[in-house]
Structure 1
Amino acid sequence: MNKNAIGIDLGGSRIKAAAIDETGKILNSYYHPTNDELDTNWKMGVAEAVLELRVKNGITDSVIGISAPGLPNTNNSAIAFMPGRLQGLENFIWTDFLKSKTFVLNDAISAMMAESRFGAAKNKKNVVMLTLGTGVGGAILIDGKPYQGAFNKAGHIGHMVIDSEGEPDIIGIPGSLEDAIGNCTIKKRSLGKYSDTQQLLEAYRNGDLFATEVWLKSVKKLAIGLAALTNILSPEMIILGGGITEAGKELFEPLEEFMSLYEWRTGGNKTEIVKAGFGDLAGAVGAACFAREISAGGV
């Protein structure tokens, strides 16, 4: 089998694709609007991406990995559960459509695969990753392998409870981490004053007292969630990715202060918290890695 692999990240607005070699080097990339109003649009967009990368790289027999929102089925041949978005995605068998062996993985776990094989967590065995954006996604690496758990539901860290008296989130969990810091609730958390996290951060940087209160309260809740994860999973490293991490020091500096209060640092050991190294192609690269490894009998 060709050592090159193709990965596709099926996002809500864009299809991002990459061909990689065995070292993780991106040989070529390809972007295409998702156009998810009709399933024929984005399905054909994926097919076009695969064809484009094969032609550019002379690839004829590579495996394909697809990173997508939702929960994959037990053999990673399709997304089994993804209500409300990308109609036609659930139980769609990509191998039959693309006429090549194709493996499907949750998008956050795909990003973790990229980081663990070639990014911030390279050579690490036990790692947790959170993606901070519209919502909060997550992934878990145990003994160097992505942990999907029963029903392939593992890693939905955004739905852990931070405030048991809080309102239910999208899946019914009260006071979730996702609602504590995800962009999806910024209007509510700021009493309608800010429409997105970027606006909140601009006000915070300018010393606005209300923005400071809202932002630091969110970071505090993130720290509480991360500290809990260190007790449950005891990872070597926690990786933070997603658009909210572009806040830079405004996120990581107060987060470190809160972690020093809440993390149980036995023997002086602390969990390293780092920013994700891969950009918007992380899902595609991770999906390609996963497909190549599982087809070879790994993962």
Structure 2
Amino acid sequence: MKVAIGIDLGGTNVKGILMQEDGKILKQHYIPTKDDAKGKWRENVLEMVNFLRSFHQEPIEMVGLSAPGLAHEDNRSIAHLPNRLFGLENFVWEEYFGIKTYVLNDAHAALMAEAKFGVMQGYKNAVLLTLGTGVGGGIMINGQLHQGLSQMAGHLGHLSLNATDDELSILGMPGSLEYAIGNCSIVRRSMGRFQSTHELVNAYHKNEPFATWLWLDSIRKLAIGIASLINALSPEIIVLAGGITTAGSALFEPLHAFIELFEFRPKGKTTLIKQAEFADLSGAIGAAAFAFNQEK
């Protein structure tokens, strides 16, 4: 059975797996990224690849690598990522590793993990939303990852929910979904009362009035964003991933109630909304899955 290495290059850690084509993980490993201005962090990625190669007697045929930023159209490098991981842009990993290497955006990789081995299995048209510091995502159309022009499909956090909002997202969108629920805006949204979404949810569990209003208002806006995606893409399933989903029923119960208000349901058909199966290894799993798909 074919074996691939999957790498998830994050700003804090490099996560790596050795995985069979059927999804069985033979080895997993974590090392600090140690992002630095000279780009020496690339040596840590190479260290990860060599470490995983040492656990397999046969030569490794391929590597999948997920990273923040926009992938090049040939999926051999990251074409655009300003202000982070100096030296990542246009760096061809295949030449560095000496192994066939496929590169994709980290949110796209998370979608690949769910589509191949997680809760998206069996569906052809799906959307993944990552809810964390920011809001990202990925789109699957007819069973294929949709990367789009400039590989930027899936920037779902930059949908506008309020065109009159003066605060712009990093892509220049007013009233973005990212600012409605992302952890990046919690201090502003809470007028300084909460430093994280985790703090907000804890206060919500205690029935604090302001926290209850703010949390439910954020979920209402998320529901409007999801309903807008349903109207535009008509997916069979929408999967939510990322740290905010650890709120569990505090997120999903009111979300389903708000979706009832906003989703158009011809003939009573509803779009499934589920929590992602994979957590911190989703990028590495999805990167390896993408590599397998590219070799078919």
Q: Deviations over 1:230-279 (max 9, x none)?
A: 11110010000000000000000000000000000111011000000012
Separation (CA, whole Å) in 2 of partners of 1:103 and 1:66: 6
Separation (CA, whole Å) in 1 of partners of 2:19 and 2:179: 36
CA drift at 1:40? 3.8
TM-score normalised to the size of structure 2? 0.98
149-158 vs 52-61, greater mean Cα deviation = 52-61
After superposition, the Cα gap between the structure-2 partners of 1:94 and 1:239, relative to the gap in structure 1 and judged at 3 Å, is same
Separation (CA, whole Å) in 1 of partners of 2:3 and 2:213: 49
CA drift at 1:132? 0.3
Q: Is the 8 A contact 2:39 2:85 kept in 1?
A: no
- Find the counterpart in structure 2 of residue 93 from structure 1: 92
Separation (CA, whole Å) in 2 of partners of 1:267 and 1:217: 29
Separation (CA, whole Å) in 2 of partners of 1:147 and 1:32: 30
- Find the counterpart in structure 1 of residue 155 from structure 2: 156
Q: Is the 8 A contact 1:39 1:86 kept in 2?
A: no
Secondary structure, counterpart of 1:6 in structure 2: strand
Q: Is the 8 A contact 2:223 2:259 kept in 1?
A: yes
- Find the counterpart in structure 1 of residue 258 from structure 2: 258
Separation (CA, whole Å) in 2 of partners of 1:265 and 1:165: 29
Secondary structure, counterpart of 1:57 in structure 2: coil
CA drift at 1:291? 1.1
CA drift at 1:59? 4.2
- Find the counterpart in structure 2 of residue 80 from structure 1: 79
CA drift at 1:39? 4.8
Separation (CA, whole Å) in 2 of partners of 1:224 and 1:86: 34
- Find the counterpart in structure 2 of residue 209 from structure 1: 209
> How large is the RMSD of aligned CA atoms in angstroms?
1.0
Q: How many residues align?
A: 295
- Find the counterpart in structure 2 of residue 249 from structure 1: 249
- Find the counterpart in structure 2 of residue 267 from structure 1: 267
The residue type equivalent to 1:49 in the other structure is M
Structure 1 runs of 4+ with >6 Å offset: none
1:57 maps onto 2:56 in alignment:
yes
30-39 vs 9-18, greater mean Cα deviation = 30-39
- Find the counterpart in structure 2 of residue 110 from structure 1: 109
Separation (CA, whole Å) in 2 of partners of 1:288 and 1:169: 31
Q: Deviations over 1:1-30 (max 9, x none)?
A: x61011100011110011110110111001
CA drift at 1:292? 1.7
Separation (CA, whole Å) in 2 of partners of 1:168 and 1:71: 20
CA drift at 1:42? 2.0
Separation (CA, whole Å) in 1 of partners of 2:58 and 2:187: 47
Secondary structure, counterpart of 1:223 in structure 2: helix
Please, which runs of 5 or more residues in structure 1 have no aligned partner? none
Identity %: 50
Separation (CA, whole Å) in 1 of partners of 2:171 and 2:155: 11
The residue type equivalent to 1:119 in the other structure is G
Q: Deviations over 1:120-177 (max 9, x none)?
A: 1112110100000000010001111100011111011001101111111112110100
1:169 maps onto 2:186 in alignment:
no
The residue type equivalent to 1:280 in the other structure is D
TM-score normalised to the size of structure 1? 0.97
Please, which runs of 5 or more residues in structure 2 have no aligned partner? none
Structural mapping, 1:1-299, within 5 Å = 3-166=2-165, 167-296=167-296
The residue type equivalent to 1:74 in the other structure is E
CA drift at 1:48? 0.9
